[in-house]
Amino acid sequence: MRSSRPRSFTVDFTANISLALADDIQELFDNLDESSFDACSSLASLRRDLKLIVRSSLGFTLRLGGSQQVTLTSIDHFVSSSDLATSLCLPLSWMGPEQTGSSIVFYAGVPGALVDLSADLAFALSLPLDCLRLDQDLTPELLESGLAGVEEALTVNRAIGALIGRGHTSETARAELGRQADEARQSVYYSATRLLMAVSSD
């Protein structure tokens, strides 16, 4: 039984609006490295289309995979953890192998409000329904709009660059940082920081 949309919505509209939401996600990714105006415009489009589909939506968290995770949160003002009644996590591997490990988590304030969206996105993107997680991500890294993990990601990237300068490829540099982190039983960020300190003292 569909609860989050009027019965007058057609199957074609459902598929189109779900694909529009997917396009918004793709556009946001494409614009993250471009101008802040384009990125803000993409954020606004994603929030607008999400609100069209789920009236009780509260926002989302975009998690960028990689050696050091970066999260971008866009959420309504004055939202507390108790306001998050449901969540939907969509993995972004459908965008390409480079996005394996990345995901977007949508939040809403009414229980069950994201069930239809889960089914619609799975259908529109030809994804198995069980690869979308419902109500398992109700504790976002940030409860306000912003970025987290940027400094850590930049440090890891600088350390990778230093290793490449010493003859590593990008792949072996990442593997070496991972090996050092495992050996020290610390994070990759910790290993990157130590490596950069060692390089600066050479």
Residue 78 and residue 145 in contact, taking contact as beta carbons nearer than 8 Å: no
* pLDDT category of residue 187 using cuts at 50, 70 and 90: confident
Residue 29 and residue 90 in contact, taking contact as beta carbons nearer than 8 Å: no
- pLDDT digits over 13-27, tens only? 344 556 777 777 777
pLDDT of residue 148: 59
- Alpha helices, DSSP H, located in the chain: 11-31, 36-53, 115-124, 150-165, 170-184, 188-201
* pLDDT category of residue 32 using cuts at 50, 70 and 90: low
* pLDDT category of residue 109 using cuts at 50, 70 and 90: very high
Cα gap 94→101, rounded to integer Å: 11
Q: In the predicted model, is pLDDT for residue 61 greater than 80?
A: yes
* pLDDT category of residue 30 using cuts at 50, 70 and 90: low
What percent of the chain lies above the pLDDT cut of 70?
A: 73
Mean pLDDT for the stretch of residues 73-94: 87
Q: In the predicted model, is pLDDT for residue 51 greater than 60?
A: yes
Q: How is domain 151-201 classified at the CATH fold level?
A: Arc Repressor Mutant, subunit A (1.10.10)
Model pTM? 0.64
